[in-house]
Amino acid sequence: MGSTQSNGADTGSRATRAVALVGPAGTGKTSLAEALLFASGAIQRQGSVDAGTSVGDASPEARARRGSTEINLLNFDYLGDHYALIDLPGGAGFAADGLAALQSADMALVVIDPAPERAVLAEPMLRRLDELGLPHAIFVNKIETARAGAVRGLVAELQPMSGEPLALRQIPLRDGEHVTGYVDLALERAYLYQPGKESQRVDIPGEMRERERSERTHLLETLADFDDALMEALLMDEAPNPATVMADLAFDTGSNKVVPVLLGSALTGGGIHRLLKLLRHETPAPDAASARLGTDGGALHVFKVANGGAMGRLALGRVLGAPLAEGDELKAGSEAGRTGSLFFVQGDKTVKRHDARVGDVVAVAKIEGARPGLLLGRNGSPGRELLVEYPARNAALAITTRDRKDDVRLSGALPRLCEEDPALAWTQDGASHDTILRGINDEHLQVVIDRLQRRYGVPVNTRPPRIAYRESIRKSATMRGRHKKQSGGHGQYGDCVIDIRPLGRGEGFVFEDRIAGGAIPRQYIPAVEMGIKDAMDRGPLGFPVEDVAVTLVDGSFHAVDSSELAFRIAGRMAMGEALAQAAPYLLEPIVKVTVNTPAGTGSRAGSVLSSRRGQILGLSPHPTWGRWERVEALLPESGLSGLDAELRSLSQGLASFTAQFDHLAELSGKQADEVVKTRAAEAA
């Protein structure tokens, strides 16, 4: 029989098939992975996500959430073949993790709920799979909870979201309220689910015949669109050859011409053996992925860097084109390196191996510069980089260590966390010295904070980052600034007179020197300008000043006591007082927000934006996703805080947005007073 997990490459079996489990949050992807491991005999007991006993989701963060926070890698054998599962998190905040894995997978299983009203949640992923050209099937999980008519309604909802025709392969058999089995439309056979075992064949119940025939006809017509002989048979009213039907199904699925829809339950095991058979017959060999990516001699396709495990830094990737062994050369452009230790991953366990088969998903130590989407070339191929499109970073947090002593550890940990999480970024805010973390949403950042504490032992305090308020002036003013200190010894003397006036929005700062007759010696003029800029760093309201023109018109000096420092101080004094006289007012940053939300929720999303002082620019259908709407608005940056959560709560967790700085706008009244008061309190 075929090899087991631990004894290395097996030349007797086919290349490993890599199957990605994708779909909305909580549909049961990790549970399905567990069910597949159990049904194939890779594990002896089926664990559960809810009880914290599943092979996947083993990290403390995932266990605490009862949902995946990062990808799970799993392996199993079925009828002598090897399968690698890549279980992607469905939660919006974790959607970037392992996304690159879809580029080199052989097949994706889109796991969804049976409720038709939740079908819309699958649209973004279905669109993405179409763009990638990745063969996929839809697995309707939790089938035991399906209402009567749900499957029919579901297919009607899903079809417009798919570029390819859906091929419903099964219809549910019911006993009263419950789904107890299915009719296989290709084989024309009925099966009853058997807990923990393969389903039991039964006769198709009489009352199902009519529905079965009409759904089967629909299935055959779908296949006939790609098979002239089958089309002819249908037109002649001949019964098609079952072998032809099965071959068409396998070919059309594997070449992404049709998308099969299967039913089952990860919880009860119903339909899982049938799903294994689909994976066996209809998942294309990795050559298709190699051809899609254009890897000639072979490649290691890196889809994630993991720093969290016991083995330190590992590149997770897929072996394409040729087997890979420890020490083999890998090329990234003109640079080459040797493959470090190889590991196979099963949940949070790693097993060292000397070599990997074509198609295997492996973890490789010591690959410099590895990052998601990097195709490392083998056997003469140079390798290249594939672009991955990640979700926008819509949440930000300012963090500070609880103990200053941890600062060094924090600055060591952040680059490592960012390296393995492409949706995470950090910056040091120059003005406030704050460390700012940016991520997809609040939930994402919370998990990052948890990781920071658990893995690197750095507890931090968090707060919303400061908004970049600015201030400007409404009026002109003239002011003298004189700095004079002549009590004993060497004195200090600087004296200048400036005119200031408002500039147009976005014109910044203009300085003009109109000193005539040497009232201030040349060499002190840059010092005056510097002093003016000092004052503009923090205007009378407490924020950086913008859009002001300053003219230096007069001044005086002292032959002995004048110095650059004295003139800088004089400039600062003049500017500080001039600004206070020039009717200063507050400016707040306005961002342009684009919200994508399921159809029917757009106007509520608009109300949320309005209630946050947003100015709605438009509500329209989404340009490419059929059942979605798009709302565009201008929104004060302060309105972004908590927006993600509020939009998601009105859209089954699905709405997402992007925000980009647009302009600065005047802020007045109570809101402005509040901002100025808060700033003054902070400064004090």
Ligand X SMILES: Nc1nc2c(ncn2[C@@H]2O[C@H](COP(=O)(O)OP(=O)(O)OP(=O)(O)O)[C@@H](O)[C@H]2O)c(=O)[nH]1
CA atoms within 13 A on the CB side of 123: 24
Out of 67, 372, 539, 606, which residue is the one contacting ligand X (CB under 6 A)? 67
Tokens of 598: 């399921």
Would you give the DSSP letter of residue 436? E
Q: Residue 350 interacts with ligand X (CB under 6 A)?
A: no
DSSP assignments along 214-258, one per residue: HHHHHHHHHHHTT-HHHHHHHHTTPPPPHHHHHHHHHHHHHTTS-
Q: Residue 25 interacts with ligand X (CB under 6 A)?
A: yes
Q: Which is nearer to Mg ion, 299 or 361 (CB)?
A: 361
Tokens of 269: 């095991």
Tokens of 401: 């260590």
Q: Residue 347 interacts with ligand X (CB under 6 A)?
A: no
**628-660 CB burial, b ≥16 within 10 A, e <16:** bbbbbbbbbbbbbeebbebbbebbbbbbbbebe
Q: Which is nearer to Mg ion, 347 or 636 (CB)?
A: 347
Tokens of 106: 């052989």
Out of 9, 18, 20, 30, which residue is the one contacting ligand X (CB under 6 A)? 30
Closest by CA to 357, choosing from 14, 77, 4, is 14
Residue span binding ligand X (CB under 6 A) among the ranges 20-28, 445-453, 462-470, 645-653: 20-28
Q: Residue 438 interacts with Mg ion (CB under 5 A)?
A: no
Out of 142, 169, 331, 612, which residue is the one contacting ligand X (CB under 6 A)? 142
> β-pairing, 425-428 with 395-401?
unpaired
Q: Residue 563 interacts with ligand X (CB under 6 A)?
A: no
CB of 383 to Mg ion, least distance (A): 31
CB of 578 to ligand X, least distance (A): 58
Residue span binding ligand X (CB under 6 A) among the ranges 88-96, 151-159, 226-234, 458-466: 88-96
Site for Mg ion in 20-49 (CB under 5 A): 29-30
Closest by CA to 419, choosing from 498, 513, 314, is 314
Q: Residue 451 interacts with Mg ion (CB under 5 A)?
A: no
**Contact yes or no for 473/548 (Cβ under 8 A):** yes
Residue span binding ligand X (CB under 6 A) among the ranges 42-50, 405-413, 440-448, 671-679: 42-50
Q: Residue 46 interacts with ligand X (CB under 6 A)?
A: no
CB of 28 to Mg ion, least distance (A): 8
Site for ligand X in 251-290 (CB under 6 A): 265-267
Q: Residue 27 interacts with ligand X (CB under 6 A)?
A: yes
CB of 36 to ligand X, least distance (A): 12
Residue 163: phi and psi, rounded to 5, are: -75, -25
Out of 16, 68, 472, 651, which residue is the one contacting Mg ion (CB under 5 A)? 68
Q: Which is nearer to Mg ion, 26 or 589 (CB)?
A: 26
**Contact yes or no for 240/188 (Cβ under 8 A):** no
- 266 contact choice in Mg ion, ligand X, none (CB below 5 to 8 Å, kind-dependent): ligand X
**482-491 CB burial, b ≥16 within 10 A, e <16:** bbeeeeeeee
Q: Which is nearer to Mg ion, 29 or 612 (CB)?
A: 29
Out of 16, 19, 40, 89, which residue is the one contacting ligand X (CB under 6 A)? 89
Out of 15, 16, 18, 29, which residue is the one contacting ligand X (CB under 6 A)? 29
CB of 393 to Mg ion, least distance (A): 22
Instruction: Look up tokens 């992807």; give the residue.
Output: 29
Q: Residue 142 interacts with Mg ion (CB under 5 A)?
A: no
Q: Which is nearer to ligand X, 94 or 567 (CB)?
A: 94
Closest by CA to 662, choosing from 640, 683, 641, 635, is 635
Closest by CA to 263, choosing from 251, 276, 272, is 272
Q: Residue 99 interacts with ligand X (CB under 6 A)?
A: no
Would you give the DSSP letter of residue 378? -
Q: Residue 28 interacts with ligand X (CB under 6 A)?
A: yes
Q: Residue 162 interacts with ligand X (CB under 6 A)?
A: no
From the number of C-beta atoms within 10 Å of its C-beta (0-12, 13-18, 19+), residue 440 rates as buried
Contact positions vs ligand X (CB under 6 A) = 25-31, 48-50, 67-68, 89-91, 141-142, 145, 265-267
